Amino acid sequence: MTTCRHLILILMATLGLMLAVAPGHAQQPDVGDQPGLLPDDSVELDPEFQKQAVYYRTTEAPGTIIISTTERHLYLVQPGGRAIRYGIGVGRDGFQWQGLLNITKKAEWPDWTPPPEMIQRQPYLPRFMAGGPGNPLGARAMYLGTTVYRIHGTNRPDTIGTKVSSGCFRLVNADVADLYDRVLVGTKVVVRQKPEL
């Protein structure tokens, strides 16, 4: 009888272990963090998330970047009450944040070194990946302060307008290259959960 109970306990433990690592559980990558995936440039963005000039009231100076995570838009403030608005992908639930930072570094076709926190959540990720079309950071990256967060491109343009990242802000490669050319190291970046009133 005792042997039967032990066997049942072993079988239950084995089943539990199999379920814990089954496909669809924590072993799947964050959407957009798939190394080696080439971007599908034929994806057409919803008009809401296409780059456009808009009227935009703010007290921030021209040249400031304002990110509205709830709207999933990044605004580059222009003179005369206008801004260039880009559609973005933002952090998934539990990975959204707000604050005031500056761009401390810019890189073209940046290398990717996933931070330790991401490796802990997704141990299958590479520890380093050279820049290029299959890199999840895409064509450009602008590093925010001393944090692990960046404004960057993506090899998953279909994620623009969604909340799936680990806290970074992603744009399609054409848009991130456009933004990259318009801003300098030192640019002020305001990240807001709610729109400015």
Q: Which of 4, 6, 73, 152 is catalytic?
A: 152
25 is catalytic: no
CA distances from 155 to 10, 13, 82 (A): 43, 39, 29
Q: Which of 162, 144, 122 is nearest to 30 (CA)?
A: 122
CB 94 within 8 A of CB 117: no
Query: If you write DSSP's letter for every residue of 85-140 in order, what string do you get?
Result: EEE-BEEPTT----EEEEEEEEEES--B---HHHHHH-TTS-S-B-SSTTSTTTTE
152 is catalytic: yes
CB 173 within 8 A of CB 139: yes
Exposed, middle or buried, 188 (CB in 10 Å: 0-12/13-18/19+)? middle
Query: What are the residue numbers of the active site?
Result: 152, 168
